[in-house]
Structure 1
Amino acid sequence: MWQEILYPAAFVLLVLLPAPLLGNYLYRVFEGQTRWLAPLERATLAGCGTDGREQDWKSYALSLLAFNGAGFGLLFLILMAQGLLPLNPQQLPGLNWQLALNTAVSFMTNTNWQAYSGEASLSYFSQMVGLTTQNFVSAGTGATVAIALFRGLSRQQTHHIGNFWRDLVRFCLYVLLPMALVMALLLVWQGVPQSLSAYLPFQGLEGQDQLLPLGPAASQIAIKQLGSNGGGFFGVNSAHPFENPTAFSNWLEMVALLLLPAALVCTLGRYVKDAGHGRAILAAMTLLLVLGLAVTIGQELKADPNLAQLSDQAGNWEGKESRFGPVLSGIWAVATTAASNGSVNAMHDSFTPLGGMVAMVNMLLGEVVFGGVGAGIYGMMLFVLLTVFLCGLMVGRTPTYLGKRLGITEMKWVVASMLVMPVGVLVIGGLTLLLPGSHAVIGHEGPHGLSRLIYAYASAAGNNGSAFAGFGAGDNWQCIAIALAMLLGRFGYIIPVLAIAGQLARAPRLDAGESAFPIRGPLFITLLIITVLLIGGLSFLPALALGPIAEQLSLTQGGF
């Protein structure tokens, strides 16, 4: 059918076409060339207690850690004391400390993993003051780290990579707030609630008494998509008709997933004064995205052989909104796991084994296929540095990148970051299998149960936030273990990236000779993709073979 080609093509074009223009705007914002809110910017910086002086990488990192630590503490207290705070018309009690810890870590790390149902667990105060605020500043934190790395690549013989407070304020003030305001108004126009009223009682079709959940949803949904956060206002996220009511809202939310991550790749080209290099990285990301779209949509258009005789509809419709179907659900699933977003408009647990595996692989690669706001490009830059270093060694030349020599210090930090996902998924996640009661947490025997576990910890360590249904996310041990994986996945990348930025900023720029490794064109794109797939995914091949691949083989042989 025509949708399986037209819809993915339209989605990719809608993501890529605005990227150069938006990327140029981001460059102007971070370099202080856009000042239409200058008085508000100065007042906010004064409130932060900073004069905007540039910092070295250690000071930048300390400011970032202090800010995120304070945000975590405040959100943890809000969630625990929710029952005593205002804007709680349903009189919802505070969360227990394990769930509050998990949720505070989740939103502070831009993961937005939800071990709770939003409309049944959180007050309007918690949603607005707690979660929505973190949606802005956690996305801003990722963007500041990416910009610090860009400055490290573009500067020479300096210790300075910018000022964290100034970068954060500028991104939130000039980028996220205006875009989120416009998107929230569009969502309200489409029928998404934005209200402080109490839930409305009504009678269902069978006469049962029910409550119609309301709340300030549109404002949170706008920033959850733009900021690659993903935490839904309602429990079933963007599969809920109040969170995603129309075809237009579905496309708007879906494109917003990757809009800023794609633009930041173009911003890199502006900083290093090499637009061709930025386009090469963008091309590599796009090819990986298209590959994921092709496999997932192809799989979801195949009916489950065990259920094919029950329906004359083509494709796997289990767990999908009839408004969207397999194609639009497949596009969203690939986009949300390519970005560190985690919002869903269908239940990923009901995807075919190979369709669900694409979502897993996107996360296991470190979510660098566009990735989250800032996090995607700085994660991909680690693979770029590794690609250039390995290719330089293979031809017997000193590896250089953008005129900067890549030495042992930079590569130690790169290698350290490559251990984050294996430790977060295989080590911390593997502990679940060793503990009593693991079957109750996983909720399924056999390969599908392992798939649920892999997905959950790939989501946590990749700061994604989506999950396979049926996983016991609310278990007290899982709340703590997943929180550890989320912290590792966030700061296990941020600290190495800032250290590399500081190291490269101090280095002198060498004259580019004919022997320099080319960083644009088909050769570079191919080698970068191979490095991402081999280095990023090879560690997880045995786990994938025992999980989704074994499940697919069982399915084709008539098993379940």
Structure 2
Amino acid sequence: MWQELIYPVAFVLLVLLPAPLLGSYIYRVFEGQTRWLAPVERATMICCGTDEREQDWKSYAVSLLAFNGAGFGLLFLILMAQGLLPLNPQNLPGLSWELAFNTAVSFMTNTNWQAYSGEASLSYFSQMVGLTTQNFVSAGTGAAVAVALFRGITRQQTTHLGNFWQDLVRFCLYVLLPMALIMALLLVWQGVPQTLSAYLPFHSLEGQEQLMPLGPAASQIAIKQLGSNGGGFFGINSAHPFENPTAFTNWLEMVTLLTLPAALVCTLGHYVKHHGHGRAILIAMTLLFVLGLSLSLYQELQPDPALAHLTQQAGNWEGKESRFGPVLSSIWEVATTSASNGSVNAMHDSFTPLGGMVGMINMLLGEVVFGGVGAGIYGMMLFVLLTVFLCGLMVGRTPTYLGKRLGITEMKWVVASMLVMPLGVLVIGGITLLMPNASTVIGHDGPHGLSRLIYAYASAAGNNGSAFAGFAAADSWQCIAIGLAMLLGRFGYIIPVLAIAGQLSRAQRQDVGEGDFPVSGPLFVSLLIITVLLIGGLSFLPVLALGPVAEHLTLMQGAF
């Protein structure tokens, strides 16, 4: 019983306590106040072929799109030509073009959706040079966009938002690289493989000869968690004992997937010189997280009616790794779907209907409950602007945010971003239900099949990467459709955020008066949470009712 209270409280504290200090450090990194790797930074900028001149939002966006497009093309070619490249001791062939497209889009957009099993499909070269590289730069891209927005809010009468190349290099060099190095060493210490040796043969207890998969796993696992990427070196992610061998690694991987997203909220406070505003947003995120975790824990600690007669253990143990159980698995599920991180230590398909629905809702909200590195805070800032705008209209005043007037242009971009998740889930996902092989793809004709579909496209459009088991992710149409949903979910937010940053940076700051809507305190926190739930969630209420809610009611009636 003590685990049900101590573990969740400990997890929240471990995520929140380092956030102010780390957020301050990230602020100093982006503003050039921390330069202990200055020679390496300068050399990297020279290799990039760019200077340090600041860019307006359009130039910033063009640089970002060009860099991500080049990264996609390179990764696509690596995956297609894998069989001809070095560091492939198992002689694995290249991927089909559909699967290579899906995987390249997945890692370029920080989604890490896996329609393949890592140890059976990808060489060491593909994992290290292709995937691990994208884990760094995709997280760096998200952080760069967030900081560009912060600068747009704080600067006035200028078009300059910083330099994308410099922001990307600084975050990767000063934040991600040292943290990933330390974490990788800790994982190796705990028994996670980090080797270029070929797979080792061994004899199982039944006497059959099998191969033990190895590889440079620790380095990829470290950055996949820190960068809120997800995507396991092995097919079953952190449920695999080589990815997650001990209780220490379980806590380390679970906490680090939210560490940087929480810290970047505190970085916002440093930029706007209003730490109370940053704390208010962090409190709103934490309350949404606790609300979802409470429901998930309550559901997963109930016995599965279909299996209750087989075990004396409390809770739903189906699909759970026996080392972790329902409590730690529930914490991981809520944490990984709150961030844009697809790693799992249990099978989400085996969660109770409402327990699995918590993960869906976290993603359907746009992954703003902490969210991904950078993506979480700039996604939440869209809801902040919407909250301030609506409250300003209700009291009959021109809406202002931290001294900047919110005009029609900014709000058009905000509204456009709010259409991303409905388009990615309801439209692109809905097309799958019209396909002749729809029942084969979702693997179930009842409400649970619809739940699988909702989860898959929420995961794609939300750049999460986790999935319910049984969904035919490697189907040719799904590779393309989910790839399109991932692109929409990534750049459908980035472009509006940069456009809003450009608009705000040109505006003149006004003194904040007593009549302006306060952006800290309980009232702001409450209204922000309500806005997130109403605007972000109402679009999906009907489909949730037909999926997980209907499945729950069916289960309560005794039908399995």
- Structure 1 residues 275-328: Cα deviation after superposition (integer angstroms, max 9, x where no partner): 000000000000001111111011100011122111111000000111000000
Indicate the residue corresponding to 1:329 in structure 2: 329
SS in 1 for 2:463: coil
CA distance in 1, matches of 2:205, 2:245: 20
Indicate the residue corresponding to 1:506 in structure 2: 506
Stretch of structure 1 that moved more, 287-296 or 302-311 = 302-311
- Structure 1 residues 448-481: Cα deviation after superposition (integer angstroms, max 9, x where no partner): 0000000000000000000000000000000000
SS in 2 for 1:102: helix
CA distance in 2, matches of 1:342, 1:334: 11
CA distance in 1, matches of 2:306, 2:455: 24
SS in 2 for 1:201: strand
Indicate the residue corresponding to 1:532 in structure 2: 532
2:43 pairs with 1:14: no
Alpha-carbon offset, residue 373 of structure 1: 0.0
User: Structure 1 runs of 4+ off > 3 angstroms?
Assistant: none
CA distance in 2, matches of 1:434, 1:493: 27
SS in 1 for 2:359: helix
Indicate the residue corresponding to 1:313 in structure 2: 313
Alpha-carbon offset, residue 50 of structure 1: 1.0
2:109 pairs with 1:109: yes
Which residue identity does 1:114 align to in structure 2?
Q
Alpha-carbon offset, residue 273 of structure 1: 0.2
Which residue identity does 1:55 align to in structure 2?
Q
SS in 1 for 2:503: helix
Indicate the residue corresponding to 1:290 in structure 2: 290
Indicate the residue corresponding to 2:38 in structure 1: 38
* Within-5 A mapping of 1:407-418: 407-418=407-418
The count of aligned residue pairs is 560
SS in 1 for 2:266: helix
2:488 pairs with 1:488: yes
Indicate the residue corresponding to 2:175 in structure 1: 175
CA distance in 2, matches of 1:544, 1:293: 18
SS in 1 for 2:192: coil
SS in 2 for 1:313: coil
Which residue identity does 2:73 align to in structure 1?
G
CA distance in 1, matches of 2:307, 2:228: 35
2:364 pairs with 1:364: yes
CA distance in 2, matches of 1:309, 1:170: 56
Alpha-carbon offset, residue 391 of structure 1: 0.5
Indicate the residue corresponding to 1:557 in structure 2: 557
CA distance in 2, matches of 1:159, 1:311: 64
Indicate the residue corresponding to 2:220 in structure 1: 220
Which residue identity does 2:441 align to in structure 1?
V
SS in 1 for 2:210: strand
CA RMSD between the two structures: 0.4
SS in 1 for 2:201: strand
Which residue identity does 2:163 align to in structure 1?
N
* Within-5 A mapping of 1:449-464: 449-464=449-464
CA distance in 1, matches of 2:313, 2:125: 44
CA distance in 2, matches of 1:404, 1:288: 28
Indicate the residue corresponding to 1:229 in structure 2: 229
SS in 2 for 1:289: helix
SS in 2 for 1:202: strand
- Structure 1 residues 308-367: Cα deviation after superposition (integer angstroms, max 9, x where no partner): 111111000000111000000000000000000010000000000000000000000000
Alpha-carbon offset, residue 209 of structure 1: 1.3
SS in 1 for 2:320: coil
CA distance in 2, matches of 1:529, 1:245: 37
Gaps of 5+ in 2: none
- Structure 1 residues 25-54: Cα deviation after superposition (integer angstroms, max 9, x where no partner): 000000000000000000000111111100
CA distance in 1, matches of 2:465, 2:143: 19
Indicate the residue corresponding to 2:435 in structure 1: 435
Alpha-carbon offset, residue 143 of structure 1: 0.2
Indicate the residue corresponding to 1:261 in structure 2: 261
CA distance in 2, matches of 1:52, 1:317: 54
SS in 1 for 2:345: coil
Which residue identity does 1:494 align to in structure 2?
I
Indicate the residue corresponding to 2:209 in structure 1: 209
Which residue identity does 1:7 align to in structure 2?
Y
Which residue identity does 1:160 align to in structure 2?
H
CA distance in 1, matches of 2:469, 2:525: 36
Which residue identity does 1:3 align to in structure 2?
Q
CA distance in 1, matches of 2:185, 2:304: 40
* Within-5 A mapping of 1:343-354: 343-354=343-354
Indicate the residue corresponding to 1:475 in structure 2: 475
Alpha-carbon offset, residue 65 of structure 1: 0.1
* Within-5 A mapping of 1:186-201: 186-201=186-201
Alpha-carbon offset, residue 511 of structure 1: 1.4
Which residue identity does 1:145 align to in structure 2?
V
The share of aligned pairs that are identical, in percent, is 86
Gaps of 5+ in 1: none
CA distance in 1, matches of 2:311, 2:35: 59
Indicate the residue corresponding to 1:383 in structure 2: 383
CA distance in 1, matches of 2:17, 2:403: 30
- Structure 1 residues 55-98: Cα deviation after superposition (integer angstroms, max 9, x where no partner): 00000000000000000000000000000000000000000000
Indicate the residue corresponding to 2:159 in structure 1: 159
CA distance in 1, matches of 2:332, 2:183: 18
Which residue identity does 2:234 align to in structure 1?
F
Indicate the residue corresponding to 1:26 in structure 2: 26
Which residue identity does 2:82 align to in structure 1?
Q
CA distance in 1, matches of 2:311, 2:15: 35
2:403 pairs with 1:403: yes
SS in 2 for 1:60: helix
CA distance in 2, matches of 1:521, 1:109: 34
Indicate the residue corresponding to 2:48 in structure 1: 48
SS in 1 for 2:465: coil
CA distance in 1, matches of 2:540, 2:408: 26
Which residue identity does 2:191 align to in structure 1?
G
TM-score (norm: length of structure 1): 1.00
Indicate the residue corresponding to 1:393 in structure 2: 393
CA distance in 2, matches of 1:553, 1:327: 23
Indicate the residue corresponding to 1:62 in structure 2: 62
CA distance in 2, matches of 1:342, 1:529: 24
Indicate the residue corresponding to 2:278 in structure 1: 278
CA distance in 1, matches of 2:529, 2:377: 14
Which residue identity does 1:159 align to in structure 2?
T
- Structure 1 residues 470-502: Cα deviation after superposition (integer angstroms, max 9, x where no partner): 000000000000000000000000000000000
SS in 1 for 2:233: coil
SS in 2 for 1:463: coil
- Structure 1 residues 231-290: Cα deviation after superposition (integer angstroms, max 9, x where no partner): 100000000000000000000000001000000000000000000000000000000011
TM-score (norm: length of structure 2): 1.00
